[in-house]
């Protein structure tokens, strides 16, 4: 799953970020930058799920986005970002940072 670094590679080429949200820390992963789009899509999908008035099943929201990606690192980045954003919301609720 990994690859060897070339002398021309920069550290920024291997970071995928999920931004801080709901008063919770973000996430930085040492993964190829081409995975950032998958992580961004995951955050957008879970944000849509949060805002749905009539919620669909959460596992369906996860699976729909994951199915749109090639297997491998992008799919894994999608899953990690989706679950991290969900965890941010859960931890914010638990700590009372969100209004009911």
Label residue 100 by pLDDT band (50, 70, 90).
Answer: low
Distance CA 6, CA 93 (A): 43
The pLDDT tens digits of the residues spanning 65-88 come to: 999 998 789 999 999 999 999 999
Q: Are 46 and 56 in contact (CB under 8 A)?
A: no
Q: Tell me how far the alpha carbon of residue 67 is from its chain's centroid.
A: 15
The pLDDT tens digits of the residues spanning 18-64 come to: 999 999 999 988 888 889 999 999 999 999 999 998 888 999 999 99
Q: Are 43 and 85 in contact (CB under 8 A)?
A: yes
Q: What is the pTM of this model?
A: 0.81
Question: Exposure of 92 by Cβ count < 10 A (0-12 exposed, 13-18 middle, 19+ buried)?
Answer: middle
Label residue 3 by pLDDT band (50, 70, 90).
Answer: very low
């Amino acid at each position: 799953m990994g690859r060897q670094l070339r002398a021309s590679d920069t550290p920024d080429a291997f970071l995928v970020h999920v931004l801080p949200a709901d008063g919770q820390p973000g996430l930085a992963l040492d993964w190829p930058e081409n995975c950032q789009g998958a992580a961004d899509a995951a955050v957008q999908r879970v944000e849509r799920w949060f805002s749905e008035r009539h919620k669909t099943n959460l596992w369906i929201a996860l699976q729909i986005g994951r199915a749109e990606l090639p297997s491998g690192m992008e799919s894994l980045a999608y899953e990690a970002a989706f679950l991290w954003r969900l965890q941010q919301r859960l931890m914010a609720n638990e700590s009372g940072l969100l209004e009911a």
